Amino acid sequence: MTPEEFRRYGKQVVDWIADYQEKVESYPVQSQVRPGEVLASLPAGPPEEGEGFEAVLADLDRVVMPGITHWQHPSFFAYFPANASGPAILGELLSAGLGVQGMLWATSPACTELETRMLDWLAELLGLPARFRSDGDGGGVIQDSASDAVLIALLAALHRRDGGAAAREGITRRHTLYVSSQTHSSLEKAARVTGIGAANVRVVDVDPDTLAMDPAHLDALITEDIAAGAVPVLACATVGTTSTTAVDPVREIGEVCSRHGVWLHVDAAYAGVAAVCPEFRWVNDGLDGHVDSYATNPHKWLLTNFDCTALWVADRAPLVGALSILPEYLRNRASASGEVIDYRDWQISLGRRFRALKLWAVIRWYGAEGLRAHIRSGVRLAAELASRIGADPGFALLEHHPFGLVCFRPRWEGLPDDEADAATLRVMERLNASGDLYLTHTRVGGRVLLRMAIGAPGTGDAHVEAAWRRIREETAREGRPAGQ
């Protein structure tokens, strides 16, 4: 493709995206295709001769679009949001256009230095403690996902714990990790990947009401494991759990970890970005204590297209110690000088994309005020919905955490719990199949709850009102909730 052809088709692609943004609301939120339908519309093999880009765009509409679930639809309330925004999309395009590999400072100094500065900017915007900033021993880096971030943290923790023995010799002792029943599954995956093993992931009790980790039980488990000859490595506290946005007591957990020399990783994948608002700075409580690594995802709720997980460490030495390998072909004068960061040493893969460009574009376009307005809008809509649900005798509301997620269920009169849960799931499936909105569910205390996560950039009062109306309609169709 020549630059002239690129200009022509590039304009068409940008127009296509702008049209999509204008009409996203007209699509069913959840894709309605059956398994294999998209596959069946695609030729079995690749073309022998190149085609015009018009053909790709035509097939985008014909083949791909029916198989798209519209995450940017204002009635998308499933999982957690995966915000896209104009500046982030343009930042991605520029990154693709430059096509650089930022594995070493020398392979594109701007790719490294813009990232360093963006992570410092973000630390400032969120009010994170100074020790996470790059001008001391710590620093930040962009990872693909919060799951990668915890794997990286675990590798650094192992390195600090055993001076690199696990990296050299493999896992030869029983190492233990500490999570709660509410911790994201990526912790177990990290245990599998590192060879620590899922059986060595210890599950700390949670408070049955708040679902927050119990630091005293953490202490007891660590003490028991040490007595049994194990080597505790890492505990993960969560600020905003995936299921219900519960918040663990980071400071108390940090005190326990500090006593036992255990690395504390704080996973604030969803909720951490709320700290751009001063009224949400409390989500950082305890980060100024004993916390070794902290991650939050601008790609969830901060208007930045996937992928963009911000990971900060208080001390970068164990991280670089765990991951740095220097083959001859990567040696260069800048790295040898010790004056530069080589982010390849802060991640699993060697190559890396120029993701800081989109974060730069987002922060500059919205400014701190624009980012705050986005968070506040989701929080307000969720709080209003929660108060309506709380006031409706036909529904039970899980104690509302002040972010963008509302968890609730219909109260089915006279049904045993398992039948009531099945009825709740049928309501959800019908709502999702209707294409009017998209919800997911969780289980708390054995009971099914619907999760409504508000935070897509286009979501407004009318969308939440319409969703609540549809939820009550489908609930009424299913049977008779209490009080109705």
Q: Which of 200, 238, 244, 459 forms a contact with ligand PLP (CB under 6 A)?
A: 238
Residue closer to ligand PLP by CB (options 104, 190) is: 190
Rounded to whole angstroms, how far apart are CA atoms 114 and 94?
14
Distances (CA, A) of 20 to 27, 41, 229, 363: 10, 22, 58, 23
- Contact characters 296-335, ligand PLP, x per CB under 6 A: -x-----------x--------------------------
The verdict on 244 binding ligand PLP (CB under 6 A) reads no
Phi, psi of 413 (to 5 degrees): -75, 130
Q: Which of 30, 95, 147, 296 forms a contact with ligand PLP (CB under 6 A)?
A: 147
Residues whose CB is less than 8 angstroms from the CB of residue 270 and which lie 6 or more positions away in sequence, other chains included = 80, 240, 242, 245, 296, 297, 300, 301, 403, 405
The verdict on 269 binding ligand PLP (CB under 6 A) reads yes
- Contact characters 96-125, ligand PLP, x per CB under 6 A: ------------------------------
8 Å CB contact between 346 and 320: yes
Rounded to whole angstroms, how far apart are CA atoms 149 and 385?
33
CB of 187 to ligand PLP, least distance (A): 9
Residue at shortest CB range from ligand PLP: 145
8 Å CB contact between 177 and 235: yes
Residue closer to ligand PLP by CB (options 82, 340) is: 82
Q: Which of residues 46-85 bind ligand PLP (CB under 6 A)?
A: 80
End-to-end alpha carbon distance in the chain:
63
Q: Which of 186, 284, 432, 475 forms a contact with ligand PLP (CB under 6 A)?
A: 186
Residue closer to ligand PLP by CB (options 147, 475) is: 147
Under rule CB under 6 A, how many of the chain's residues touch ligand PLP?
14
8 Å CB contact between 479 and 412: yes
**Alpha-carbon torsion angle 268, 274, 276, 280, nearest 10:** -110
The stretch near ligand PLP (CB under 6 A) out of 14-22, 237-245, 332-340, 342-350 is: 237-245
Residue closer to ligand PLP by CB (options 194, 242) is: 242
The stretch near ligand PLP (CB under 6 A) out of 21-29, 221-229, 253-261, 263-271 is: 263-271
Q: Which of 30, 85, 112, 242 forms a contact with ligand PLP (CB under 6 A)?
A: 242
DSSP-derived 3-state class of residue 248: coil
Residue closer to ligand PLP by CB (options 269, 340) is: 269
Q: Which of 121, 132, 178, 270 forms a contact with ligand PLP (CB under 6 A)?
A: 270
Q: Which of residues 390-429 bind ligand PLP (CB under 6 A)?
A: none
Distances (CA, A) of 233 to 178, 287, 351: 8, 19, 28
β-pairing, 447-453 with 405-410? antiparallel
The verdict on 293 binding ligand PLP (CB under 6 A) reads no
8 Å CB contact between 458 and 374: no
The verdict on 126 binding ligand PLP (CB under 6 A) reads no
Residue closer to ligand PLP by CB (options 144, 214) is: 144
Phi, psi of 35 (to 5 degrees): -55, 135
Closest C-alpha among 275, 281, 335 to residue 310: 275
Q: Which long-range contacts (CB under 8 A, 24 or more apart) does 49-54 make?
A: 53/1, 53/5, 53/9, 53/12
Residue closer to ligand PLP by CB (options 28, 286) is: 286
Residue 266 CA, chain-centre distance (Å), reads 13
Taking the CA of residue 104 as centre, how many other CA atoms within 13 Å lie in the half-sphere pointing to its CB?
A: 17
Residue 191's identity, in one-letter code, is A
Q: How many CB atoms lie within 10 A of CB 163?
A: 12
The stretch near ligand PLP (CB under 6 A) out of 51-59, 145-153, 159-167, 361-369 is: 145-153
Residue 260's identity, in one-letter code, is H
The stretch near ligand PLP (CB under 6 A) out of 107-115, 131-139, 155-163, 264-272 is: 264-272
The stretch near ligand PLP (CB under 6 A) out of 42-50, 208-216, 236-244, 357-365 is: 236-244
Residue closer to ligand PLP by CB (options 16, 71) is: 71
CB of 211 to ligand PLP, least distance (A): 12
Write out the two tokens for 218.
Answer: 């953490």
Residue closer to ligand PLP by CB (options 152, 420) is: 152
Binding site residues, ligand PLP, CB under 6 A? 80, 145-147, 184, 186, 238, 241-242, 267, 269-270, 297, 309
